[in-house]
Structure 1
Amino acid sequence: MEQLPLLSLSIWLPILGGVLVLALGPGRDDMARWLALVVSGAVFVVTCLLLVGFDTGTAGIQFGESRPWITSLDIHYKLGVDGISVLLVLLTSLSTVVAVAASWEAIQTRVPMYMAAFLIMEGFMIGVFSALDAVLFYVFWEAMLIPMFLIIGIWGGTNRIYATIKFFLYTFFGSVLMLVALVYLYTQAGTFDILELHDVQLSLGEQVWIFLAFLIAFAVKVPMWPVHTWLPDAHVEAPTAGSVILAAIMLKMGGYGFVRFSLPITPDASHELAWLVIALSLIAVVYIGLVALVQEDMKKLIAYSSIAHMGFVTLGYFMFNPQGIAGGLIQMISHGFVSAALFLCVGVMYDRLHTRLISDYGGVVNVMPVFAALFMLFGMANAGLPGTSGFVGEFMVILGAFKVEPWFGVIAATTLVLGAAYTLWLYKRVIFGRITSEHVANDMPPMSRREKWVFAPLAALVLIMGIWPAPFLEIMDSSVLNLVEQVNQSKL
């Protein structure tokens, strides 16, 4: 199985599939939908083969591929995955299948363009998680902005142009600083190979500047407070499937950047400036949780919830112990399932009433009981209820934080209270009570079979990961221990 170039297939199959869907042209909407679903399903099968053939007993790179690309600069087309990235590749392929299926009836204009954008973006995102050459990583990192820019800008809401430009400028600005840092590292190491950059010897001053450049690039993507303001705008204006990919995958790019670049390349600066990241993370957990409480738009509430939950991820990483880092990674995977499902829940209601305001709903359980049960499951996972995937990562991060400084753990644990507060407040007003609107009574038919199938894998994974997290932890265990060793080993 390792003889097959599975990673190249995972990257280029969706990109070529997207070009094929785009070539269908207008008037072939149904064919575009089915072709996109088949291609995304095939990519998911290919990524599952990665998992089947994955050896959990090693921290080394697996399924490696390397070809010369720009020989004069020693730049290679080099791919590979470890226990950290393989789960993110799988999450990307699953989320794309869900996004394509969720858009089946919601999108009626320029359908081939829409489906092609998702497939091409899937290839670029898998490329980010698979690239082992810094230039290749940067190309994929920048390229995936373009399809999302188009998805929000063409199929988004009334304020979509403002949201897309803000999204693009924020993320592009951070990326330029990352490029500067990578070029400097090349001048020191003579290579763009990411694994060799992990071993380059740098002074503390050099490490600090490189760390800060990476921090800005990845903080914008996570997003961390105070560079988070683009995310609620982008979510509110994006179509439902756009929000699914933005929350489930794109926010994970920043978290992945920390473990692939910041921690192993600049370990001393990471320890030196850990206080800064910890402070920003705790502010995100507490302050953004309070901001979520007062939102009137369902999508904005879930967007702020995402920022608070991603604060847990960055907090875990900078505890520099196995519990914290593994907890941060598990939180990323769990957040991918839960936030995607919550945005889909909003999409189901929006497709019926064409409003996202909490005040326009009430008593939905009376007309959509199955939907109410699913919304409850994902809401409880968002609040970190034991037995759901949301609890596992948060518990491990709090455990890792307590080992370093008990007060970090206490402050981080407030998110369990705040998360329950804004999630239950949202659920009570939208789902429970009497039917408060004629539209809810008359215009909200029960969930279709297609909608139930879209939710089914996410609901199953939230429960499986919550009840039996061991398989997920075993996959990343060796890679996490190797990363902890790298970041705790001084280069000075």
Structure 2
Amino acid sequence: MIGYILILPLIGICHLLIISKEEIIRLKKIALEWSLLILTATIVLWITFDGQGQFQSSKTIEWMFTIEPKVSPIFFAVDGISIFFLILTALLTSICILISWRSIKFLIKEFLLCLLAIEFLLIGVFSVLDLIGFYVLFEGILIPMFLIIGIWGTREEKVWASYYFFFFTFIGSVFMLLAIFLLYSYVGTTDYQTLCCISIDKNLQYFIFLGFFFSLAIKIPKIPFHIWLPQAHVEAPVAGSVILAGVLLKLGGYGFIRFSWPLLSEAAEFFSPLIFTLSLLAIIYGSLTTCRQVDLKRIIAYSSVAHMGLVTLGVFTHTMTGIVAAIFLMLAHGLVSSALFIIVTFLYERFSTRLVKYYRGMSITMPLFSFLMLLLILANSSIPLSCNFVGEFFSLIAAFNYSYLVGVLASLGIILSASYSIYLYNRVCFGVPSNYLYFPRDLNRREFYSLFPLVLLIFLIGIFPFIIIDVVKATVNFIEW
């Protein structure tokens, strides 16, 4: 099944290539249909998933067999960790096409091709079981994302922001490549399942872990490697912001879960105090920095830094509770932050400003918008019955079990998150409507339908968290930590 899911985006790309650029509506409909087909295929894969924890639906691809016969084939498969990230990727890609229906005015065919290319690469990243394959797909995402920010960005500094994003993440990934080469020179293979059965020397683990850490810490991102994120979010179009916050940031957390403990357990244990320090710094500093932002997109971008700090905190507690919390929180953040970027973009499309000071009284002029924004703000504040609440609750349990001091400091992020979220909603939606906002109109049908699936899933998963937790627990139990 994973082979079909991998090939569907490529067929969609080929289909778009043969369509004329002038047939704009047809191009959009074809891209949306292919993305919905991929989403359906990932849901079918999840339904047929037996939940036992091992890798399933495997697909083997031979490569370099004419150059180097000893090179092992690349395996693609899914387990209880990667299956949900595949569904999240397919869902957000479909929503990105829908919300960009009218906002992208030029080079529409190329924009849709970039979205489907990113979807293909992300599906590959979350299912590949080879370190070289992971690196190639991991790096390949930079190219279409660089183009989306630099070409279809919303402001004058979009080119600078795209280069900022590209070079930060590319330079970090060079360290990952060096670590993979070092591992291959000592072990002789890059196959993930083989490496899980091999004991790696402790001193070697330290160097390999640092190589992976620099790359994944920039991607997640951790302080002080977070500088590229706010600028990229501010300049990117809404689809770029959704892909960045919803999926690309999760590559860092996914990499830590997939590689740090199963392959480099001793190094991960050795560096865990450093990770905890950086995670707490991200939670507190990221939350405080969010409180002083005046741009709607920057507020959501810096809040992502704080939430991702809780993710790494959970991963490096090295407990079942922490791992489950990290995966659940990444999925929850992918839904909530994506929806928040979409809803603030709806304001920008109407009034051409993202400065908070110009907005007041939206609850009077745009009641449907205000109601949906209230639900998302409460979810971002981890209100009970939302998926964020489940993830952050288990993260704090894991933090308190590890250290009382770490748990108390991490709890400050929850308080600050509620503070800046509710304060933002109060400034935007309450008060007397601003004189700057002429002819406000509420959400139309397309905008509502693009937000509704995310809002529904946020609370559906929060009410029934066992849908995810049971599958993830089975996978974590199966892995020999």
How would you bin the TM-score normalised by the shorter chain? over 0.9
Q: Give the deviation of 1:106 after TM superposition.
A: 1.0
Kindly provide the CA deviation profile for residues 125-148 of structure 1, in whole angstroms up to 9, marking residues without a partner as x. Answer: 110000012222111111111111
Aligned to 1:70: 64
1:466 aligns with one of 426, 446, 462: 462
| Aligned match of 2:307 | 309
Q: Distance in 1 between matches of 2:15 and 2:286?
A: 42
**Alpha carbons 2:12, 2:116 under 8 Å: kept:** yes
Deviating more after overlay: 97-106 vs 179-188: 179-188
CA distance in 2, matches of 1:379, 1:253: 25
Selected match of 1:16 from 11, 15, 37: 11
Structure 1 residue ranges (4+ consecutive) displaced by more than 4 angstroms after TM superposition = none
Contact 2:131 2:190 in 1 (8 A): yes
Task: Give SS of 2:199's match.
Answer: coil
Higher deviation after alignment, 106-115 or 273-282: 106-115
Of the candidates 22, 26, 35, which is equivalent to residue 30 of structure 2?
Answer: 35
One-letter identity of the residue aligned with 1:78: F
- SS of the residue corresponding to residue 283 of structure 2 reads helix
Q: Indicate the SS of the match to 1:108.
A: coil
Unaligned 5+ segments in structure 1 are: 1-5, 487-492
What's the Cα RMSD here?
1.2
Counterparts of 2:359 and 2:311, CA distance in 1: 33
Distance 1:22 1:235, change over 3 A: farther
Partner of residue 172, structure 1 = 170
Distance in 1, Cα, partners of 2:320 & 2:435: 50
Which amino acid is 1:165 matched to? Y
State the partner residue of 2:202. 204
Paired with 2:56 and 2:149, the residues of 1 have a C-alpha distance of 35
> Which has the larger displacement, 162-171 or 11-20?
11-20
Corresponding letter in the other structure for 1:43:
I
- Identify if the C-alpha distance between structure 1 residues 310 and 271 changes in structure 2 by more than 3 Å, giving closer, same or farther: same
Question: Percent identity among equivalent residues?
Answer: 39
Distance 2:144 2:255 in 1: 20
Contact 2:369/2:443 (<8 A) preserved = yes
Structure 2: gaps (5+ residues): none
> Partner of 1:79: helix, strand, or coil?
strand
1:114 aligns with 2:108: no
Which shifted more, 37-46 or 409-418? 409-418
TM-superposed deviation, 1:382? 0.7
1:361 CA displacement? 1.0
Q: Deviations over 1:276-298 (max 9, x none)?
A: 00100000000110000000100
Asked whether the 8 Å contact 1:33–1:104 carries over to 2, the reply is yes
Q: Does 1:251 align with 2:249?
A: yes
Output the CA distance in 2 between the equivalents of 1:355 and 1:12: 40
Residue aligning to 1:416: 414
Contact 1:160–1:237 at 8 Å: present in 2 too? yes
Instruction: State the TM-score, normalized to the length of structure 1.
Output: 0.95
Match of 1:146 in 2: 143
CA shift at 1:12, angstroms? 2.4
The CA deviation at 1:22 is 3.8
Call closer, same or farther: CA 1:75–1:142 in 2, change over 3 Å. Answer: farther
Q: Aligned equivalents of 1:233 and 1:134: distance in 2?
A: 30
Contact 2:53 2:471 (8 Å CA) reproduced: no
The one-letter code sitting in structure 2 at the alignment partner of 1:113 is E
CA distance in 2, matches of 1:26, 1:330: 41
Instruction: Indicate the larger mover: 331-340 or 460-469.
Output: 460-469
Partner of 1:392: 390
User: Quick check: 1:338 aligned with 2:336?
Assistant: yes
Query: Aligned pair 1:99/2:96, yes or no?
Result: yes
- TM-aligned CA deviation for residue 478 of structure 1: 1.3
Of 118, 126, 131, the residue aligned with 1:134 is 131
Q: Deviations over 1:159-185 (max 9, x none)?
A: 011101110001111111111111121
User: How big is the shift at 1:345?
Assistant: 0.6
Describe the SS at the equivalent of 1:291.
helix
Number of aligned residues = 477
Question: For residue 3 of structure 1, what is the aligned residue in structure 2?
Answer: none
The TM-score, its normalising length taken from structure 2, stands at 0.97
**Equivalent position of 1:234 in the other structure:** 232
Tell me if 1:286 matches 2:257.
no
Task: Report the equivalent of 2:76.
Answer: 79
**Mapped partners of 2:327, 2:478: distance in 1:** 14
2:358–2:436 CA contact under 8 A, matched in 1: no
**Residue in structure 2 matching 1:482, options 458, 478, 481:** 478
1:300-379 residue pairs with structure 2 within 5 A?
300-379=298-377
Letter of the 1:472 partner, please give it: I
Residues 226-276 of structure 1 deviation map (CA, whole Å, 9 limit, x = unaligned): 100000000000001110011000000011100111221110011111000
Mapped partners of 2:281, 2:187: distance in 1: 36
Instruction: Check the 8 A contact 2:209/2:267 in 1, yes or no.
Output: yes
**1:77 Cα shift?**
3.0
Could you tell me whether the CA contact under 8 Å between 1:11 and 1:122 is conserved in 2? no
Q: CA deviation at 1:8?
A: 2.3
What is the identity, as a one-letter code, of the residue corresponding to 1:204? K
Counterpart residue number, 2:441: 445
Q: Secondary structure at the match of 2:249?
A: helix
Q: Structure 1: which amino acid aligns with 2:119?
A: E
Amino acid at match of 2:342: L
Q: Secondary structure at the match of 2:63?
A: strand
Report what 1:490 is aligned to: none
**Partner Cα distance (1:143, 1:8) in 2:** 19
Give the match for residue 259 of structure 2.
261
Paired letter, 2:111 = Y
